[in-house]
Amino acid sequence: MFGYLKRWWLKTIQVRKSWTHHTYIALDIETSGLNPNTDQLLAVAWVEIKPPVIDYKTGRYYLIKHDQTDLKQSPVVHGLVSKDFLETTEPRAMLEQLAEILRGKVLVCHHIQLDWSFLKHAARQHGIKLEPLALFDTLAFEAKRLKRQQHHIERGSLTLAACRARYGLPEYNAHHAFSDAVGCGELMLAQGYKFAGSSKSRLW
């Protein structure tokens, strides 16, 4: 019991730090569908961020091995085809690396509910715990900001590309896990510096 309380207290202290004093893992996934119980996790990519720097040498991109890969609409949505999966990574190996890099860091995704649900589902299947310090959703942050400023949220206005455009960030090829992870990380930094600056406030 004491050990649990100590870990909780240390995490609480850490979470209260200024947003610029945290390390972030910007992550994106590609899947065969939207349901983690019936669809496959096809690709995972991430990169580490220590504001204001994106550390590109930490970038990782994995195509995930399955007994039988079911691409469904992925060739249309992600551009992934069967030949892309000639070299793949065992899901356990990817998850073990991710668990290590997430420890004590903030996980950043664009629409984190989807990404996190697939990651947690895969982690449970392999008995691995993913324990980031906190979660930050660039899409949810932007939606709340627009609502506070009484902007009308139109269909398509919260895509990664649309959100990036509002901050003057360049266009990337969408629906590739690594470029989307980097794009999400850049968006998080833009949101942070525009609305929190170098203050002691948090983003989440």
Say what the pLDDT of residue 6 is. Answer: 43
Report the side by side order of strands in the sheet with 106-109. Answer: 53-63, 41-50, 24-31, 106-109, 134-137
Say what the pLDDT of residue 7 is. Answer: 54
Say what the pLDDT of residue 75 is. Answer: 67
Pairing of strands 24-31, 53-63: unpaired
Domains contained in the chain, CATH given: 18-195 (3.30.420.10)
Pairing of strands 53-63, 41-50: antiparallel
* Distance (Å) of CA 67 to CA 42, 64, 167: 12, 10, 42
Say what the pLDDT of residue 32 is. Answer: 93
The dihedral formed by the CA atoms of 160, 162, 163 and 169, expressed in degrees to the nearest 10:
90
Say what the pLDDT of residue 154 is. Answer: 86
Say what the pLDDT of residue 172 is. Answer: 85
* Structural tokens at position 180: 């989307």
Which residues does the chain have with pLDDT short of 50? 2, 4-6, 9
